Structure 1
Amino acid sequence: METVRQTHKESKTKSCGPSASNDNRRSYPLSGKSLFPENATARIFKPSRSVTTSATAQTNEWRLVFDRCSAPFIEPFLGYTGSGETLVQVELKFPTLESAIRYAERQGLDYLLQRQTDASADRAAYRKWSEREGGRQGHDLPERQVA
C-alpha cells in the first residue's frame, strides 16, 4: 500500500470547474481559520471490498477519516473504552480522490493519502510463481513431517 503524507495550509487559489456533490463552495470557514484542531490529521483512502463477499458495493468512493491523537482509556466504573476525541467518529465520503484532497486542503488539514496496490499485479506474480513451480496446488505439496 503506497502512503503519501502531505501538509497543506490555506492557499489563496480557487479551483474552477464543477464541484463534487458533497463539496461546499465556501473556500474558507467563517472565522478565517480551520474549524478542526491544529494537530488533526486526516487519512484519505479508498475502502477495499469485504472479504466475505465478492460484491464491490461502496468501494467506488473515497473516505476521509481522522487519526487518533491520544490513546483511548478504560472508564474505571463501567469498564467501557472512552476517549476525549470526537473526530475519530467522523467519516466523510467523497466521489473522487480530487474532491477529498480539495476538501482537506480547503479546511487546512494535514492529510495522509493511502493508495491500494493493483490486485492484478499480485495475481500476475502468483501466476508466474505457479508456472515456475510446475503448477502445483496446495493439496499437491508434500505433507509436513512432525518431529
Structure 2
Amino acid sequence: MSARIYQRPKNAMQSGKALVDQWILEFDPAEAKKPDPLMGWAGSGDTRQQVQLKFPSKDAAQAYAAKYGIPARVHPTPAKRLKIQAYADNFR
C-alpha cells in the first residue's frame, strides 16, 4: 500500500492558479484494471484508487503518511518555465 505525494498542477483550461497550493496524497493501484464483461469499461476491485487526500503543505502530507505507516514518495514540483514573447510574435 504505497502512495505518492505531489502538488496539484495548475488547470490548463483556465488562467487562474486556484488550489495550486494544495498537496495530494494518492495511493498506488494494487491491481491492474480489467474490462467489465457487460459494459466494457475498465475497472478494478481496488477502492484505494478512488481516495485523494488533500493537505495544505508537503510536510503535513508526509507526517500523515509516516503516522499511518504508508510508504510514500514525493514528486517534486517542476520548475516554471516562462515563454516571454511579444504579442506581435503570434503573427510572424
Pairwise CA distance, 1:108: 0.7
TM-score when scaled to structure 1? Answer: 0.55
1:54 aligns with 2:25: no
Q: 1:99 aligned to 57, 60, 80, which one?
A: 60
- Over the matched positions of the two proteins, sequence identity in percent amounts to 29
State the Cα distance separating 1:118 from its structure 2 match: 2.1
Aligned twin of 2:73: 112
Tell me how far apart the structure 1 counterparts of residues 40 and 32 of structure 2 sit (CA, whole Å): 16
Separation (CA, whole Å) in 2 of partners of 1:139 and 1:71: 47
Matches within 5 A, 1:62-101: 62-101=23-62
Deviation at 1:138, TM superposition (A): 6.1
- Unaligned runs of 5+ residues in structure 2 are none
TM-score for both structures, normalised by structure 2 = 0.84
Q: Whose Rg is larger?
A: 1
- Listed as ranges, the gaps of 5+ residues in structure 1 are 1-39, 131-136, 141-147
